[in-house]
Structure 1
Amino acid sequence: MFLKRGNNTFGTVAFRLTLWYAVLLAALSSAAFVLVYVRLTSSLSHRMDEALVSNVKKFEALYNKQGLEAISAEFQREAASSGVKRVFFRMFSPSQEVLAASDMSKWKGIGYPPAALESLLNDKELSQTISIPGHEHKVRVIYKKTTDGNIIEVGHTLKDNEELMERYRETFGWGLLAILVLGSIVGWSLANRAMSGVKRVMRTAVRIGRGDLTHRVPVGQEGREIHNLALAFNNMLERIQSLVMELKEVTDNIAHDLRSPLTRIRGVAETTLTGQQKLDTYQEMTATIIEECDRLVGMINTMLDIAESQTGVANFATARVDVAEVVKDAYELFQPVAEDKGVTLKLDTQTEPLFILVDVARLQRALANLLDNAINYTDAGGKVTVSVERTQTYVKILVADSGVGIDEKDLPHIFERFYRADRSRSAPGNGLGLSLAQAIVQAHKGQITVSSSPGKGSTFTIILPAASTAN
Structure 2
Amino acid sequence: MKNKIKANVWLYFSLVVFSLILVSALGVALILLIATYFDIIPKDKGSVYLIIFIALFLALISSGISSLVGRKFLQPIVALRKSMRLVAQGDFSVQIEEEKAAEEVQELYSDFNLMVRELGGIETLRNDFISNVSHEFKTPISVIQGYIQLLQSESIPDEERRSYYKRIYEGNQQLITLTDNILQLTKLETQTMGYEKEKFRLDEQIRESLLFLQPKWEEKELTLDIQIEKITYSGNKELLYQVWLNIFENAIKYNNLKGNITVKATNFANQVVIVISDTGVGIKEEHHQKIFEKFFQEDNSRKTSGNGLGFPLVQRILELHHGTIQVASSRGRGASFTITLPHESSS
TM range (shorter): 0.5 to 0.7
Give the TM-score of the pair, scaled to structure 2. 0.62
Give the structure 1 partner of residue 321 of structure 2. Answer: 446
Give the structure 2 partner of residue 54 of structure 1. Answer: none
Structure 2: give runs of 5+ residues left out of the alignment: 1-12, 37-41
Once residues 309 and 234 of structure 1 are traced to their aligned partners in structure 2, the CA distance between those partners, rounded to angstroms, is: 19
Shift of 1:269: 1.9
Shift of 1:325: 2.9
Task: Check whether the contact 1:448–1:462 (CA below 8 A) recurs between aligned residues.
Answer: yes
Task: Check whether the contact 1:25–1:183 (CA below 8 A) recurs between aligned residues.
Answer: no
Give the structure 2 partner of residue 26 of structure 1. Answer: 20
Deviations 1:200-257 (A, max 9, x none): x7656645644567x77799xx97449x999999999899778756654443332333
Give the structure 2 partner of residue 271 of structure 1. Answer: 150
Which amino acid is 2:253 matched to? N
Once residues 187 and 358 of structure 1 are traced to their aligned partners in structure 2, the CA distance between those partners, rounded to angstroms, is: 50
Give the structure 1 partner of residue 9 of structure 2. Answer: none
Once residues 69 and 234 of structure 2 are traced to their aligned partners in structure 1, the CA distance between those partners, rounded to angstroms, is: 57
Task: Check whether the contact 2:185–2:312 (CA below 8 A) recurs between aligned residues.
Answer: yes
Which amino acid is 1:287 matched to? K
Once residues 364 and 22 of structure 1 are traced to their aligned partners in structure 2, the CA distance between those partners, rounded to angstroms, is: 59
Give the structure 2 partner of residue 420 of structure 1. Answer: 295
Once residues 110 and 330 of structure 2 are traced to their aligned partners in structure 1, the CA distance between those partners, rounded to angstroms, is: 42
Task: Check whether the contact 2:235–2:321 (CA below 8 A) recurs between aligned residues.
Answer: no
Give the structure 1 partner of residue 243 of structure 2. Answer: 366
Q: How do 1:27-426 residues align onto structure 2 when only pairs under 5 Å count?
A: 27-32=21-26, 168-184=50-66, 191=72, 195=75, 199=79, 206-207=85-86, 209-211=88-90, 224-225=100-101, 247-302=126-181, 320-321=200-201, 323-331=202-210, 337=216, 345-350=224-229, 353-357=230-234, 363-377=240-254, 384-400=261-277, 403-404=282-283, 407=287, 410=290, 413-414=292-293, 419-426=294-301
Which amino acid is 1:410 matched to? K
- Number of aligned residues: 313
Pairing 1:459–2:341 present: no
Deviations 1:48-107 (A, max 9, x none): xxxxxxxxxxxxxxxxxxxxxxxxxxxxxxxxxxxxxxxxxxxxxxxxxxxxxxxxxxxx
Task: Check whether the contact 2:28–2:54 (CA below 8 A) recurs between aligned residues.
Answer: no
Once residues 129 and 267 of structure 2 are traced to their aligned partners in structure 1, the CA distance between those partners, rounded to angstroms, is: 36
Once residues 17 and 159 of structure 2 are traced to their aligned partners in structure 1, the CA distance between those partners, rounded to angstroms, is: 91
Shift of 1:369: 1.2
Give the structure 1 partner of residue 307 of structure 2. Answer: 430
Q: Partner of 1:395: helix, strand, or coil?
A: strand
Give the structure 1 partner of residue 39 of structure 2. Answer: none
Q: 1:211 to 1:357 in 2, by over 3 A?
A: closer
Q: Partner of 1:426: helix, strand, or coil?
A: helix
Task: Answer 1 or 2: higher relative contact order, Cα 8 Å, separation at least 6.
Answer: 2
Higher helix proportion = 2
- Larger-Rg structure: 1
Shift of 1:265: 2.1
